[in-house]
């Protein structure tokens, strides 16, 4: 979209501002430099360290009155040096990350439709994937009820043209339906999720596109006991693989996380997560749990060896971890250690996948500027070399990064 069209939309929202309307225009500029020697996949003896700088730039337009709300997020994501210095608007470097409208039918019911982020509970199944510069958004219609309980019913259906039932697009599903129900009070929060994905495949014999359905059902719970914050997930997946063989799926995810405050500035904790996996030999079902649209960078180590565009339909994961964070003033420190092993049986019997150490330091300036640093190191086990298809070596696997985030509010109308 051309910049002049963005400005025209902003002026339209401002012009529509009435006595009862709220208008906000904000921005985000987020460059991040990363150094990698074995992130996401293990380094080999011939791997050289590499460095890249990526940047996310956003312009956010929000309008709300008593009848409806509109949200538009224009986004540009690029690696430094990717575009010519003489880039023109014709290169389509700016695109819509979100564009939705929500109709407030009455005080309890609303209908939200368009391109939007889907974020629920701890992001395990549906999240914004905010660490990724491009983030994630869906084309979906969402009916919402807000009362003593919150109920969301989401529906999405994709076709490539009006005159066929074939979907050739890049999305992970042809159709999605989900129901999310949440109840919370001062002592607990409990959510229920039922999500079905119809994923397309081609039936070669009939040259016909078919879909297989994968259904996820489960719960997310949070409470506090004796000053310890507890959170947990329990999900089960069933259905069929999105392929001609349509092998049965039977998989599960269970997790528990605990955090305790040692003081008003220091917290410690730990937890365990199991994502079921398929044995490397002899399995007649797909037992590998898929977290689908979760913010997977948030879980199972920051080096993204597991479930960040990888490790799907594999041996699964046991993740035992300990963590600590401290916030003395404007500076925040985080540290975590993960102990990984395979859930599905490895042919070699090497179940150990490795140990990862994650360190983080962040500084916030008036809530508008954020400077973050991080360093991670993976001490890989024999099993991880087998899973990643890399010959065992002593090359070492590390990842470091620094990121600046600017989030200015450019305009905000006064609340009435």
Question: What are the two backbone dihedrals, phi and then psi, of residue 277, each rounded to the nearest 5 degrees?
Answer: -135, 170
Going residue by residue through the chain (416 aa), what tens digit of pLDDT does each one get?
455 565 565 556 555 555 568 999 999 999 999 999 999 999 999 999 999 999 999 999 999 999 999 999 999 999 999 888 887 665 556 889 999 999 999 999 999 999 999 999 999 999 999 999 999 999 999 999 999 999 999 999 999 888 888 888 888 899 999 999 999 999 999 999 999 999 988 876 667 888 899 999 999 999 999 999 999 999 999 999 877 666 899 999 999 999 999 999 999 999 999 999 999 998 889 999 999 999 999 999 999 999 999 999 999 999 999 999 999 988 999 999 999 999 999 999 999 999 999 999 999 998 889 999 999 999 999 999 999 999 999 899 999 999 999 999 999 997 65
Q: Is the pTM of this model over 0.85?
A: yes
The structure tokens 């979760």 sit at: 294
DSSP state of 388: H
Tell me which architecture the domain covering 3-112+123-137+183-196+218-412 has in CATH. Beta Barrel (2.40)
Given this model, what pLDDT does residue 224 score?
Answer: 96
Given this model, what pLDDT does residue 5 score?
Answer: 60
In the 3-class helix/strand/coil scheme, how is the chain assigned residue by residue?
CCHHHHHHHHHHHHHCCCCCCEEEEEEEEEEEEEEEECCCCCCCCCCCCEEEEEEEEEEEEEEECCCEEEEEEEEEEEECCCCCCCCCHHHCCCEEEEEEEEEECCCCEEEEEEEECCCCCCCCCECCCCCCCCCCCEEEEEEEEECCCEEEEEEEECCCCCCCCCCCCCCCCCEEEEEEEEEECCCEEEEEEEEEEEEEEEECCCCEEEEEEEEEEEEEEEEEECCEEEEEEEEEEEEECCCCCCCEEEEEEEEEEEEEECCCCEEEEEEEEEECCCCCCCCCCECCCCCCECCHHHCCCCCCCCCCCCCCCCCCEEEEEEEEEECCCCEEEEEEEEEEECCCCCCCCCCEEEEEEEEEEEEEECCCEEEEEEEEEEEECHHHHHHHCCCCCCCCEEEEEEEEEECCEEEECCCC
Given this model, what pLDDT does residue 404 score?
Answer: 98
Domain residues of the chain, as ranges? 3-112+123-137+183-196+218-412
């Amino acid at each position: 979209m051309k910049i002049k069209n963005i400005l025209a939309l902003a002026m339209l929202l401002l012009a529509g501002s009435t006595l009862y309307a709220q208008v906000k225009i904000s921005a985000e500029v987020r460059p991040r430099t990363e150094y990698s020697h074995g992130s996401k996949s293990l380094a080999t003896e011939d791997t050289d360290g590499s460095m890249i700088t990526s940047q996310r730039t956003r312009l956010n337009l929000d309008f709300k009155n008593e009848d409806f709300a509109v949200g538009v997020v224009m986004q540009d994501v690029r690696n430094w040096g990717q575009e010519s210095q003489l880039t023109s608007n014709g290169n389509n470097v700016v695109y819509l990350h979100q564009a939705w409208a929500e109709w407030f039918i009455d005080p309890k019911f609303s209908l939200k439709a368009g391109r939007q982020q889907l974020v629920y509970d701890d992001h395990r199944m549906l999240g914004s994937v905010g660490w990724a510069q491009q983030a994630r958004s869906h084309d979906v219609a969402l009916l919402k009820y807000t009362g003593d309980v919150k109920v969301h019913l989401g529906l999405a259906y994709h076709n490539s043209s009006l005159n066929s039932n074939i979907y050739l697009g890049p999305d992970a599903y042809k159709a999605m339906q989900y129901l999310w129900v949440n109840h919370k009070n001062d002592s607990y929060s409990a959510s229920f999720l039922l999500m079905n994905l119809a994923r397309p495949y081609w039936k070669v014999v009939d040259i016909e596109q078919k879909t297989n359905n994968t259904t996820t059902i489960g719960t997310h719970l949070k409470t506090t006991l004796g000053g310890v914050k507890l959170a947990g997930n329990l999900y089960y997946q069933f259905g069929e693989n999105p392929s001609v063989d349509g092998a049965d799926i039977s998989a599960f995810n269970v997790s528990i996380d605990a955090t305790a405050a040692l003081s008003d500035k220091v917290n410690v904790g730990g937890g365990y997560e199991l994502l079921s996996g398929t044995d490397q030999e002899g399995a007649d079902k797909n037992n590998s749990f898929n977290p689908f649209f979760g913010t997977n960078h948030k879980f199972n180590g920051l080096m993204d060896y597991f479930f960040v565009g990888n490790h799907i339909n594999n041996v699964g994961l046991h993740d035992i971890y300990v963590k600590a964070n401290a916030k003395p003033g404007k500076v925040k420190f985080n540290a975590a250690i993960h102990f990984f092993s395979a859930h599905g049986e490895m042919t070699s019997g090497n179940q150990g996948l490795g140990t990862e150490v994650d360190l983080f330091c962040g500084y916030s300036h008036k809530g508008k500027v954020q400077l973050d640093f991080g360093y991670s190191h993976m001490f890989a086990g024999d099993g991880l070399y087998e899973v990643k298809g890399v010959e065992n070596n002593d090359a070492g696997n590390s990842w470091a990064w620094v990121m600046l985030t600017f989030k200015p509010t450019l305009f905000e109308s006064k609340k009435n």
